[in-house]
């Protein structure tokens, strides 16, 4: 994982000093890095599959259960074993509910539809089931491959459930990158301080405002980072899903630490 950290630091350094005139050796090195990046970059197609079931016992238009998956399938670039690992990970996480996940997308969709049929036999529920998963590649370079999993599911109740999961991978190994691997241990408290500052700014909270009194579900009103993070345009992005730190009505809560602040945190 050390090489990821080094690459990210170099990328920020290049952006800071891009105005300087490169020497010939620097130009050659840059071309080599570009060539390696092109060779290692993962290429994919976007797949879409869907399945529906019309309950003819129900009248009106609201009688169709459906499920859809839109997701990347990695085809070329990098290492085949890594592509296979990523494709398997995606297949295993297509459904929001683990109980519906199967070995193939088709089997997962069939399991979801069957769950509605079984529930209808038992309860004669009137509302059909609905589910949609949209997985998008948001970073794809030599430092990091990032996927955004957008889930929606309705299986009864007042409203459906919608949430977003980020997963960041080392493209050289196919393993998930954790925040602890990116941030040196001696700077994690600094990260927490910076993150709380930008969280409060994003929610229009003062430095001394009590988080619990402001309506956020932090234990003992003590700020904590979400597990959800990624990088976007050099910024470190954090996301809380509904019910994670606030009521459903608040929706997802997103804030970011800007790139220029990360130089101190990553070193």
pLDDT at 264: 87
Q: What is the pLDDT of residue 203?
A: 97
pLDDT one-digit tens code per residue, 117-151: 999 999 998 899 999 999 999 999 888 999 999 99
CA 62, CA 130: separation in Å to the nearest integer? 11
Answer whether residue 210 shows pLDDT above 50: yes
- 183-266: what fold? Actin; Chain A, domain 4 (3.90.640)
- The rounded percent of the chain whose pLDDT value lies above 70 is 85
- The answer to whether residue 243 scores a pLDDT higher than 90 is yes
CB burial class (10 A; 0-12, 13-18, 19+) of residue 20? exposed
Summarised one tens digit per residue, pLDDT across range 23-75 is 545 554 444 444 344 456 899 999 999 999 999 999 888 899 999 999 999 99
pTM as predicted: 0.83
What does the domain layout of the chain look like in residue ranges? 2-40, 43-169, 183-266
Hey, what are 93's tokens? 């996480």
User: pLDDT value at position 75?
Assistant: 97
Residue with tokens 């009248």: 59
Q: Which pLDDT score, from 0 to 100, does residue 27 have?
A: 53
Nearest to 171 by CA among 191, 145, 198, 195: 145
Residue 39's pLDDT is what? 54
Topology classification of domain 43-169: Heat Shock Protein 90 (3.30.565)
Segment 65-100, tens digit of pLDDT = 999 999 999 999 988 999 999 999 999 999 888 888
User: Given this model, what pLDDT does residue 5 score?
Assistant: 42
């Amino acid at each position: 994982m050390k090489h990821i950290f080094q690459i990210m630091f170099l990328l920020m350094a290049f952006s800071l000093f891009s105005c300087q005139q490169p020497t010939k050796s620097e130009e050659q090195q840059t071309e080599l890095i570009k060539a390696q990046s092109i060779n290692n970059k993962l290429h994919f197609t976007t797949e879409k599959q869907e399945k529906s079931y019309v309950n003819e016992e129900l009248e009106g238009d609201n009688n169709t259960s459906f499920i859809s998956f839109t997701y990347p399938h990695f085809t070329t670039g990098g290492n085949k074993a890594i592509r296979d690992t990523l494709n398997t990970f995606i297949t295993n996480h297509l459904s929001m509910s683990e109980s519906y996940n199967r070995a193939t997308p088709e089997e997962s969709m069939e399991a979801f539809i069957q769950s509605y049929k079984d529930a209808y036999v038992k309860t004669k529920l009137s509302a059909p089931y609905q589910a949609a998963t949209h997985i998008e590649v948001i970073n794809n370079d030599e430092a990091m491959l990032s996927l955004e999993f957008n889930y929606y599911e309705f299986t009864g109740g007042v409203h459906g459930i919608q949430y977003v999961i980020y997963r960041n991978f080392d493209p050289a190994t196919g393993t998930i990158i954790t925040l602890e691997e990116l941030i040196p241990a001696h700077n994690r408290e600094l990260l927490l301080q910076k993150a709380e500052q930008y969280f409060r700014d994003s929610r229009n909270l003062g430095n001394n405002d009590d988080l619990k009194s402001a309506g956020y579900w932090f234990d003992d009103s003590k700020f904590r980072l979400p597990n959800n993070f990624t990088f976007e345009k050099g910024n470190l992005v954090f996301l809380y899903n509904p019910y994670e730190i606030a009521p459903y009505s608040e929706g997802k809560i997103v804030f970011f630490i800007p790139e220029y602040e990360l130089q101190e945190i990553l070193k």
